[in-house]
Amino acid sequence: MESDLLRKIEARSSKIGVIGLGYVGLPLLLRCAECGFPIIGFDIDGQKVNLLRRGETYIRHIDPERIRNLRRKGLLDVTDDFSRLNEPDCILICVPTPLSPNREPDLSYVVKTAEDIAGKLRPGQAVVLESTSYPGTTEELLLPLFRQTGLLVGRDFFLGYSPEREDPGNPVYHSGNIPKIVSGITPRCLKVISAFYEKISGKIVPVSSTKVAEFAKLLENIYRSVNIALVNEMKILAHRMGVNIWEVIEAASTKPFGFTPFYPGPGLGGHCIPVDPFYLSWKAREYGLTARFIELAGEINVSMPRYVVERIMEALNDRGRCLKGSKILILGIAYKKDVDDDRESPAYPIMDMLMKLGASVSYHDPLIPKLKPTRKYAFSMEAVELTEEFLESVDAVVIVTDHSSYDYDWIVRHAGLVVDTRNATRYVKEGREKVVMA
């Protein structure tokens, strides 16, 4: 089985199946096809499947021409029919791994996907989990399910873990040039999985076990979470001391060693950083440990939307206004600039708190024209038109996401008060007295 699959991979004739066609899975599927592999994409969302079949994209930074080109060549096969899981030679799992309301891992998507695969698993297939999870997931959760088929891992089928490293909207790094960590349950599994990823990635980084690969992914995100929490705490301290934290970071960044700049903001967003660290802190409790850095970083980052709301209240009070009854415009819903991804966006808790305190809240985001229900929030709202008249009519404009398309000079000129959580107005000269940093 191993030699047959390796020959197929070498010839790029092995069919690659990607399960979950979101911000990770869709770029991966397209990369595999563009590298010459036959592909089949799986998703439970029939609307996504239909859009792809029509040659359309639902992720802004993915050029629809890539999809249309594959479609014209007859190379784009996408489906919501999971009975076809016996067709691919290599199956890559890219499904969500959210947290429960109690901040515990919710692996229901992974389990359901693994059960679907197990029902169709055949000799000669390789299965790789890319979704982020706690160390031990591949070995403790997937492997027992697949063993129930009677097939032997490392001989009849091949199982491993290779964490996704997708950065939506990044113009430099993509699935074709980001080094790929790869691992396998057995040495033969690692050999097969490495052979595949060598064909689609710029560089592979083999590690000794799936647990190492799973841990490495969490460490990457915990590193960012802890450092963002640190700089967010420094922002609050700097404000109280009357110091510009962004100037401090710029000055510290001139040191050519021993310092990596991180930047404060209104809170964490995206699927990874607000979620993934808690997978490890949850697992740590199984070993009698409390991951104090992870928990503290989480507390600080989760508190930032409330800090932003407090700064809005202070700024309004300084101008003789009460938050209750005030008109507040939120600029930017996406969790980071120039993407249409609103997952875990700090804009939502900020809006929620403002509305509960009696403010009238509207929003504008050039990439998100209408809000959709999330796991926590169900705003029924469409983006307002950003005009001079509207800017002049609101009591405060709050910059939550610093999209490049915004003209910040123009915004400050026509707004009465601008609360800036991203240092987006740093180059604005006229009207600085209207700007309050948060």
The Cα–Cα gap between 336 and 401 comes to 6
pLDDT at residue 256 in the model:
95
Q: How many CB atoms lie within 10 A of CB 387?
A: 11
Catalytic entry in 32, 189, 272, 322: 272
pLDDT the model gives residue 215:
98
At residue 409 the predicted structure's pLDDT band, cuts being 50, 70 and 90, is very high
Position 2 scores a pLDDT of 87
User: What is the four-CA torsion angle of 292, 296, 298, 301, rounded to 10 degrees?
Assistant: -160
Does position 279 have pLDDT exceeding 90, yes or no?
yes
- What is the predicted pLDDT for the residue at 40? 98
Percent of the chain with pLDDT over 70: 100
Residue with tokens 């009696």: 358
Q: Which of 56-65, 147-156, 223-232, 234-243 has the lowest mean pLDDT?
A: 56-65
pLDDT higher than 80, residue 375: no
- pLDDT at 174 > cutoff 90: no
Summarised one tens digit per residue, pLDDT across range 177-213 is: 899 999 999 999 999 999 999 999 979 999 999 999 9
Is the torsion defined by CA of 324, 330, 334, 335 positive or negative? negative
Do the domains 230-437 and 2-208 match in fold?
A: yes
Mean of the per-residue pLDDT values of the chain = 95
Over residues 249-268, the mean pLDDT reads 96
pTM assigned to the model: 0.92
Question: Is 90 exceeded by the pLDDT of residue 380?
Answer: no
The pLDDT value given to residue 218: 97
Is the domain 2-208 a CATH 3.40.50.720 member? yes
Where does the pLDDT of residue 277 fall: very low under 50, low under 70, confident under 90, or very high at 90 and above?
very high
272 among known catalytic residues: yes
Secondary structure (3-state) at 133: coil
Domain residue limits, the chain: 2-208, 230-437
Determine the Cα–Cα distance for residues 397 and 394; give it in Å rounded to an integer. Answer: 7
CATH fold, domain 230-437, is Rossmann fold (3.40.50)
